Structure 1
Amino acid sequence: METDIIIIGSGIGGLSCASLLAKYGFQVTVCESHSIPGGAAHSFQYKGYHFDSGPSLYSGLSYSPSPNPLKQVLDAIEEDLSWVTYDTWGCCLPEGNFDTSVGADQFCQVLETLRGKEALTQWRNLQHLMQPLKDAAIAIPPATLRLDLGALITVGQFFPSLLPHAPQMFKLTGAFSDIIEGTITDPFIRNWLDLLCFLLSGLPAKGTLGAEVAFMFADWYRPGVKLDYPIGGSGAIVEALVRGLEKYGGELLLNAHVEQILVENKRAVGIQLHNGKQIRAKKAVVSNASVWDTLKMIPDGAISNSYRQQRQNTPQCDSFMHFHLGIDGTNIPFDLACHYIVVNDWEKGITAPQNVILISIPSVLDPNLAPPGKHVIHAYTPGNEPYHLWQGLDRRSPEYETLKQQRSQAVWKALERVIPDIRSRCEVTLIGTPLTHERFLRRDQGTYGPAIAAGKGFFPGGTTPLRGLWCCGDSTFPGIGLPAVAASGMIVANTFAPISKHLSMLKNIQLI
């Protein structure tokens, strides 16, 4: 079998790259190890419940033109889906339980109640400080980027509007903690910003790029902003990308685990599947696997030992505990929010194991995700469950079950802060561990992704020293989540496209 470009992995980054390449006219084949496409964003059904396996918070996807790279990909491949919008979620913090909202002013009301006018003044000062940084962060749409000299033309369309933001660019490449130094002294605001940074990058403010936070401020703290949820769950986004891929002639192969990248004359020329089948690539192989898993597929001698070791040593975020619950939703004596953020103890540090727990109840927004009168819940520890506690355990052993029961208690307690009688309401209880995460997503040590701290390293982008091998996904672009991986896939796809087709795409999605 022969194709133009092979994509390893059908995560959002890989599907974004593949569908856009197909739109550009390339013959594309996506090889997915799992029986379901979507990677960490896949959905699955069980006993009438529709579960999201990963992402639960979406924004900038229900309107166009949008600064969200995933929306730019969907617009480029002319695929859309239905969204429900909302603006409020619940917080269960050491200070107490309360609701908060996106938007320019909503958080100010909560802050004044919790901390008083001095804290409110500091937040207002921060908003003023972030305004030029927000503008700078979205001054160049990710859809314009490519990894060759053609970027001088595609990005050049924005040079005139970019010039006023030039003084802010240096700040965006440093740690966010440097930006707020001297402006924010209130301990609650600093903790809150650490929490937001952790959700963006897996690191606190001192390790998170200013650009990531500026992009979030541009999206969340503006007048009239809404959050989005896709009707049908995260699987609806995956289905839209797959439709785009196949509409333009691309192919998705499921249960197609890539065992090795084929290298001839110091060039990647294809892949070999676990079953021995080979697929040749006339132009390139693009890996959407993590950096650690990509290295496992590259034959010895194809890249230098120094490069292999350098990339192997990329620091990792921790893994997950996942709860997928189907519950009886009758007679709950209060209105549920779609999302809750639980923080147990600020003093432990925001990245401490199981200190932050996220709860998503998407059936609040899309009742069709659960049977009538029921709710579907996804609760998880977002990249703060240590893998080493589980390493080497047999998933069928009593030791594994004992540890699973012990480590799940923190999530149960978080759920009980939202729904006190949650355990008695459960009709479906599926609990996953880092070994589950590692097994189903083929991610080294079940990791959330790279933990490259601002100022201590750079994300390498989509290029590699092996000719013909490119990479996309969360190991190549700063930030954790759908916008970052979609941007990474789009940038690689743009690099293969003729300049004329790239410019045409930008015009079609109303960016130029």
Structure 2
Amino acid sequence: MGGLSCAAMLARYGFDVIVCESHTIAGGAAHAFERQGYKFDSGPSLYSGLSYSPSPNPLRQVLDALGSQLPCVNYNTWGCCLPEGDFDTSVGAEQFCDVLARLRGEDAVVQWRKLQQIMAPLAQAAIALPPAALRLDIGAAVTVSRFAPTLARHTGNVLKLTGSFSRIMDGVVSDPFIRNWLNMLCFLLSGLPASGTNAAEVAFMFADWYRPGVQLDYPVGGSGALVNALVQGLEKHGGELKLGAHIEQVLVKDNRAIGVRLRNGEEIRARRAVVSNASVWDTLKLVPPEALPAKFRRQRQATPECDSFMHLHLGIDAQGLPANLACHHIIVNDWDKGITAPQNLVLVSIPSVIDPSLAPPGKHVIHVYTPGNEPYSLWEGMDRKSSEYEQQKRSRSQIMWQALERIIPDIHSRCEITLVGTPLTHERFLRRHRGSYGPAISADVGLFPSSLTPLSGLMCCGDSTFPGIGLPAVAASGMIVANTLAPVGQHLAMLKDIGCI
């Protein structure tokens, strides 16, 4: 999605763009696929800030720049199955206070409201400079300066956003449930607990999730509709998408990236730049060893990685299920294990409850996954055709079945389609290094690698170049690279077109 965002924006700026996608389906970790009338999201399924403009969500900013439409269904509630019990909660501040009062008492409510008071100005600081204004060259002095008056009002708070969120949380929140809750939200945002999550990411979430009248979004047609909106924007502006186009190598001549060679031997030359949306580790495999300094290679190769995923994709008979079944559910088995512990956190998405087009009449489509907490080491070296692999799939998927049974007790008897995905599935179909969710760079340790590289003509975008891992972050990374390659005048015109200036 970072690559599609970058390519579509470059096409909008008037560049000749070709996107080479290794898979036969566009969208990367967010692509959609269909089986027997069921439309499955392969990856993320929780969206916000997509149904209105102007929006602080960089993905919405990209769509606005492209003129791409994305009809969404709105909702605000999801289910929680936690050690404290099962309950529904929603975005917005007040309902969560009701949950806290019931589970933890008035002191917890006081702490939460105090945190909200502290986060309110930080949230405004986090959205004071839209990612659409950023670029990685001297031209940033011009584009960012348009927001100088707003930034000046938030100077002190902007500085507070540079460290980890735990530095803010620790001074306000002592209630163990709230701390566990915030660590969980941080893990879903960044793949790390509060101690490793950038405060700006959390502030951005507070700005969006806890504002008055907030709603969550789900694209009509699922994540596939979101991918299609970007592809249509790319093609509308003259860009080209090649599917099943696996790149074997970045071509280098005279210390400059000049194109790519595909697995089938085809070579595509680049007049201006080659942009890699592959992960930081996978990009290194594509560039000839001598083309990058050894120190740079060592540093990038040493980037810490998040764990991988387990997935269940199910098509089920929905007859007799409650009409008010929540679209999303979060299941935590044991807070004491730590939120990042393997198989401790499970997410369930049943998007057909709000978008019936995703399943045949009277059916539901379900996606269950362990979000970035499945160790690749348990699967490393396995033959995907072996009985050992099948046994491992059955064993490691049980935690997802157990989580789903808390929501739909008779789920096994309802299944018409059952697909199990593993870290090896991620590695194979998504071309992900060790099936990883992405970099696990702690906010207290370092910054994400830049989109720039020592090799002239080679730039990077995607989840290895911008904090957050999720779709807003990768869209921002792609947009920033496109802006950097575009003339400043065109960049300013784009910001005006989408209502940023």
Same fold (TM over 0.5): yes
Deviation at 1:334, TM superposition (A): 5.8
- In structure 2, C-alpha distance between the alignment counterparts of 1:468 and 1:499, rounded to whole Å: 19
The reply on whether 1:288 has 2:259 as its aligned counterpart is no
The reply on whether 1:493 has 2:494 as its aligned counterpart is no
Which of 51, 55, 63 matches 1:66?
55
Deviation at 1:130, TM superposition (A): 0.4
Deviation at 1:132, TM superposition (A): 1.1
Q: RMSD of aligned C-alpha atoms?
A: 0.7
Alignment partner, residue 347 of structure 1:
336
Deviation at 1:335, TM superposition (A): 2.4
Alignment partner, residue 256 of structure 1:
245
Deviation at 1:171, TM superposition (A): 1.5
Alignment partner, residue 332 of structure 1:
321
* Equivalent residues of 1:177, 1:205 under 8 A apart: yes
* Equivalent residues of 2:245, 2:263 under 8 A apart: yes
- In structure 2, C-alpha distance between the alignment counterparts of 1:182 and 1:77, rounded to whole Å: 43
Amino acid at match of 1:459: F
Alignment partner, residue 423 of structure 2:
434
Amino acid at match of 1:124: R
Which of 78, 81, 87 matches 1:92?
81
Deviation at 1:469, TM superposition (A): 0.2
Aligned structure 1 segments of 4 or more residues deviating by more than 2 angstroms: none
* 1:206-247, Cα deviation, whole Å (9 max, x unpaired): 000000000000000010000000000101011111111111
Alignment partner, residue 44 of structure 2:
55
Alignment partner, residue 130 of structure 1:
119
* Equivalent residues of 1:293, 1:443 under 8 A apart: yes
Alignment partner, residue 289 of structure 2:
300
* 1:469-495, Cα deviation, whole Å (9 max, x unpaired): 000000000002110000000000001
Amino acid at match of 1:375: H
Instruction: List aligned pairs for 1:372-387, cutoff 5 A.
Output: 372-387=361-376
- In structure 1, C-alpha distance between the alignment counterparts of 2:47 and 2:259, rounded to whole Å: 35
Alignment partner, residue 75 of structure 1:
64
Instruction: List aligned pairs for 1:324-473, cutoff 5 A.
Output: 324-333=313-322, 335-473=324-462
Alignment partner, residue 201 of structure 1:
190
- In structure 1, C-alpha distance between the alignment counterparts of 2:77 and 2:329, rounded to whole Å: 10
Give the secondary structure class of the aligned counterpart of 1:412.
Answer: helix
Alignment partner, residue 4 of structure 1:
none
Instruction: List aligned pairs for 1:168-187, cutoff 5 A.
Output: 168-187=157-176
* 1:250-297, Cα deviation, whole Å (9 max, x unpaired): 000011000000011111000000111110000000000000100000
- In structure 2, C-alpha distance between the alignment counterparts of 1:21 and 1:497, rounded to whole Å: 7
Deviation at 1:377, TM superposition (A): 0.2
Which of 492, 495, 499 matches 1:506?
495
Alignment partner, residue 299 of structure 2:
310
Alignment partner, residue 100 of structure 2:
111
Deviation at 1:182, TM superposition (A): 2.4
Identity %: 70
* Equivalent residues of 2:329, 2:348 under 8 A apart: yes
Amino acid at match of 1:202: G
Gap runs ≥5 in structure 2: none
- In structure 2, C-alpha distance between the alignment counterparts of 1:111 and 1:373, rounded to whole Å: 36
Amino acid at match of 1:166: T
Gap runs ≥5 in structure 1: 1-11
Amino acid at match of 1:132: P
> How many matched pairs?
501
- In structure 2, C-alpha distance between the alignment counterparts of 1:67 and 1:400, rounded to whole Å: 43
- In structure 1, C-alpha distance between the alignment counterparts of 2:480 and 2:283, rounded to whole Å: 19
- In structure 2, C-alpha distance between the alignment counterparts of 1:118 and 1:142, rounded to whole Å: 37
Deviation at 1:342, TM superposition (A): 0.5
- In structure 2, C-alpha distance between the alignment counterparts of 1:101 and 1:33, rounded to whole Å: 38
The reply on whether 1:140 has 2:111 as its aligned counterpart is no
Amino acid at match of 1:307: F
- In structure 1, C-alpha distance between the alignment counterparts of 2:29 and 2:82, rounded to whole Å: 27
- Range 286-295 or range 169-178, more displaced: 169-178
Alignment partner, residue 3 of structure 1:
none
Amino acid at match of 1:138: I
Deviation at 1:332, TM superposition (A): 1.6
- In structure 1, C-alpha distance between the alignment counterparts of 2:450 and 2:218, rounded to whole Å: 29
- In structure 2, C-alpha distance between the alignment counterparts of 1:290 and 1:442, rounded to whole Å: 9
Amino acid at match of 1:353: P
- In structure 2, C-alpha distance between the alignment counterparts of 1:438 and 1:486, rounded to whole Å: 22
* Equivalent residues of 2:195, 2:444 under 8 A apart: no
- In structure 2, C-alpha distance between the alignment counterparts of 1:300 and 1:340, rounded to whole Å: 45
Give the secondary structure class of the aligned counterpart of 2:146.
Answer: helix
* Equivalent residues of 1:318, 1:386 under 8 A apart: yes
- In structure 2, C-alpha distance between the alignment counterparts of 1:284 and 1:182, rounded to whole Å: 46
Alignment partner, residue 24 of structure 2:
35
- In structure 2, C-alpha distance between the alignment counterparts of 1:189 and 1:24, rounded to whole Å: 45
- In structure 1, C-alpha distance between the alignment counterparts of 2:329 and 2:72, rounded to whole Å: 20
Which of 156, 161, 173 matches 1:167?
156
Alignment partner, residue 205 of structure 2:
216
Give the secondary structure class of the aligned counterpart of 2:372.
Answer: coil
Amino acid at match of 1:35: T
* 1:289-318, Cα deviation, whole Å (9 max, x unpaired): 000100000101100111101100100000
* 1:119-151, Cα deviation, whole Å (9 max, x unpaired): 000000000010111011000000000001111
Deviation at 1:181, TM superposition (A): 1.6
Deviation at 1:333, TM superposition (A): 4.3
* Equivalent residues of 1:461, 1:488 under 8 A apart: no
- In structure 2, C-alpha distance between the alignment counterparts of 1:495 and 1:99, rounded to whole Å: 44
* Equivalent residues of 1:175, 1:454 under 8 A apart: yes
Amino acid at match of 2:82: L
Give the secondary structure class of the aligned counterpart of 2:273.
Answer: strand
Amino acid at match of 2:337: K
Alignment partner, residue 272 of structure 1:
261
Amino acid at match of 1:122: Q
- In structure 2, C-alpha distance between the alignment counterparts of 1:363 and 1:326, rounded to whole Å: 10
Deviation at 1:331, TM superposition (A): 0.8
* Equivalent residues of 2:325, 2:353 under 8 A apart: yes
TM-score normalised according to structure 1 size? 0.97
